[in-house]
Amino acid sequence: MAATHPDKAVKIRNSISKCSSCLNNVPLFFDILGQKAMIITAAGTLQSMFFPLIMVRFVRNMLYSLFGKNGLTETVFQKLFNSDGIYWTSFHKCYDRHFLRTLDGSYAMDALRSAKCAKKFLQREIDAVQPELLIILGKAVCSEVQRMVADKDLILPANQIFSDYFHLEPDTSKIDHIRNALAQTLCLDPPQEPFDKTAAATTKTNAEVHLQFQLCAARALSRDGGTRTDLPVPTYENVVEQLWIENVATPVFSRYYSFLNYWSAIESSTESFLCNNYDPTNPNQNNPQYRPLIYDESISMLHNMKEIRRDWLKKLNDYYLTRRDHSLLARWKAIYRKLVVLRDIRNAIVHQMGFIPYKTVHIQDTEYSTNYNINARLVGTGFQGIRVIPNMVYIQENGIKELDDLFVQIAALLSDSEKDPGLTY
């Protein structure tokens, strides 16, 4: 593993997060974790400001260029954010059409207008990572990095590779060289198939990119396991998109649905617990003294149930704060912390296809204060299989097992609570 400097890594992460040099001020960046290899591309894409990383076409094309068809798997996708993978950074970390516009007014990215972001962070990143292998991808960024080196604004490690044309590289031997060097650095098997620049061929632009991806992903997920064979077979734009959706997107989206099923089960179970025990018409109601905290007898039962559903987590928390049994309260506090952070995850999945804005993940923001340091909160509450990387909710198989365990804990707590009606007053 590269000799990363932890203090430098933390300072760089915080500096990038709080940088306000650009108008949109939404940087795309990963954490420095001691990776052996480092990749520099031109800029954070416009797509990644609104969509989770798994949906961004640039990512799958890059992984195909670097790893071949092996790159279109979850195992290699994780190389973008694991300590045994690559540190991916951008010459310019916030998307800016003015920054990308060429001198003739087009967006071909033949040249970049500003190096202020690179001058501010790039050398610091290289010094912190100390990569054994540095790869620079894209004609514009290759030109700018070479200019900075010539101007003595940047010092690169000895082992460096430049590739002007990325996944459209006409010189296939250069891509093969990159693939072999990267595989050797990361102790991976190099791809067996030759590089095929037509594998990522595309005609879709702008919104069409996501309309195409989302339709294919939805159909692939619905047909997975033979559950909905009546739907049309996905019409993939190219083999890279097909492998990406089948091997990466479909498993991740499937886990999103599993997550939502567990969340719905937890929510409905707790609502039922509250309604059943504090309905005044229930002769076996638990803790009638508590009823005023949750049940307003001046309105109908239907309206009370609506209020319980609207704020069930707060009402359940209020309930446990009244318990005499401190062991029940202790169990609830541990569960409550998990539910609070999972609610943020649930909202991202339901409303934004798993997307969480970068600012809410990396630094404290007054507008999104509940999302501050969300990964630390996940780790702190015991979750190992759920993360935000770097702008998307990523649930692994063990994350689903952790949700199942949580549901069992909640069911046991509610059952034990009904057996002991003690209150603190």
- Interval 190-214: pLDDT, tens: 998 999 988 998 888 878 888 999 9
Q: What integer pLDDT is reported at residue 425 of this predicted model?
A: 42
131 touches 115 (CB < 8 A): no
Q: What integer pLDDT is reported at residue 424 of this predicted model?
A: 46
60 touches 107 (CB < 8 A): no
Mean pLDDT is lowest, of 264-268, 308-312, 352-356, 405-409, for: 308-312
- Residue 374 clears pLDDT 60, i.e. is over it: yes
Q: What integer pLDDT is reported at residue 178 of this predicted model?
A: 94
Cα 139 to the center of its chain, rounded Å: 28
Query: Tokens 């400001």 correspond to what residue?
Result: 49
pLDDT digits (tens, 9 = 90+) for 351-370: 999 998 776 666 554 444 44
Q: What integer pLDDT is reported at residue 279 of this predicted model?
A: 63
For the domain covering 6-185, report its CATH number. Answer: 3.40.470
pLDDT digits (tens, 9 = 90+) for 37-87: 999 998 877 778 888 999 999 999 999 999 999 999 999 999 998 899 999
271, amino acid identity: E
Q: What integer pLDDT is reported at residue 63 of this predicted model?
A: 95
100 touches 112 (CB < 8 A): yes
Question: Between these two residues, 289 and 19, which has the higher pLDDT value?
Answer: 19
Q: Per the structure block, which two tokens stand in for 42?
A: 């031109």
> Which residues, in sequence order, are CB contacts of 7 under 8 Å at separation 6+?
none
Mean pLDDT is lowest, of 93-107, 217-231, 344-358, for: 93-107
In this prediction, residues 330-341 reach a mean pLDDT of 96
In this prediction, residues 368-379 reach a mean pLDDT of 68
- Residue 159 clears pLDDT 90, i.e. is over it: yes
Of the pLDDT bands very low, low, confident and very high (cuts 50, 70, 90), residue 1 is very low
Question: Between these two residues, 115 and 296, which has the higher pLDDT value?
Answer: 115
- Smallest CA-to-CA distance from 51 within 253, 295, 234, 316 is with 253
pTM across the whole model: 0.86
**What's the chain's average pLDDT?**
84
Q: What integer pLDDT is reported at residue 224 of this predicted model?
A: 81
Of the pLDDT bands very low, low, confident and very high (cuts 50, 70, 90), residue 152 is very high
Q: Give bridge partners of residue 133 from the DSSP assignment.
A: 37
Percent of the chain with pLDDT over 90: 47
- Residue 108 clears pLDDT 70, i.e. is over it: no
Residue 100: C-alpha distances to residues 40, 46, 212 (Å): 16, 11, 25
pLDDT digits (tens, 9 = 90+) for 408-425: 999 999 999 877 655 544
Q: What integer pLDDT is reported at residue 109 of this predicted model?
A: 53
Q: What integer pLDDT is reported at residue 204 of this predicted model?
A: 86
Q: What integer pLDDT is reported at residue 84 of this predicted model?
A: 92
Alpha helices in 81-223 (DSSP H): 97-100, 116-129, 139-150, 172-185, 207-223
N residues, the chain = 425
Question: Between these two residues, 116 and 266, which has the higher pLDDT value?
Answer: 266
